Amino acid sequence: MNASRVAPVVGIVGCLTVLVALVVPYLTTEAGAAGTYYATGAINPLIGGLFAAVAVVVFAAGRAGRTDPATAAGVALVFGIVVALVSLVWALTVPEAVVFQLSTDSALEYHRWVLALCSSMIPVSGAWYARGLGLV
């Protein structure tokens, strides 16, 4: 298994998983409720979603050779750390009362933890990519 080819693909999948997870509350709650849900934490996780969207491009460019792979691995690792920290801080600071008020669906109850778990895939794959290139 060539880590310098597989790790960016895993990173892209992780980024897309984070973006899909961020869309779920918009599909499962009433209009405006997702905005309230995301705004109640210490930091809005949609900021992490922005970094995840850019990280998709970074991983893809490094894998395709359009960007120096070492630079892409470093940038992807840093962006992944930002996404993971933003998601984790938000998950820890959003009040449970808000979660239970916005939806009777039990899926939203676990959403913040799923988002934090999915976001951890990005820095892990960034580190794996850097290691596969022999940078670490």
- The DSSP secondary structure of 62-117, one letter per residue, reads HHHTSS-HHHHHHHHHHHHHHHHHHHHHHHHHS-HHHHHHH-S-THHHHHHHHHHH
Residue 15 pLDDT > 70: yes
Q: Alpha-carbon distance 103 to 24, whole Å?
A: 12
* Phi, psi (deg, nearest 5) at residue 120: -70, -20
Query: What pLDDT score was predicted for residue 30?
Result: 83
pLDDT band at 62 (very low <50, low <70, confident <90, very high): very high
- What predicted TM-score, i.e. pTM, was given to this entire model? 0.93
Task: Please state, in angstroms and as integers, the Cα–Cα distance from residue 24 to each residue in 5, 10, 100, 111, following that order.
Answer: 30, 21, 16, 8
Tens of pLDDT, residue by residue over 72-108, are 999 999 999 999 999 999 999 999 888 878 766 666 8
Q: Are 78 and 52 in contact (CB under 8 A)?
A: no
Q: The tokens 């895993």 sit on which residue?
A: 10
Taking the C-alpha atoms of 124, 121, 59 and 92 in order, what is their torsion angle to the nearest 10 degrees? -100
pLDDT (average), residues 17-42: 91
Q: Between residues 32 and 54, which one has the greater pLDDT?
A: 54
pLDDT band at 1 (very low <50, low <70, confident <90, very high): confident
pLDDT band at 5 (very low <50, low <70, confident <90, very high): very high
For residue 45, which of 58, 65, 26 has the smallest C-alpha distance?
A: 26
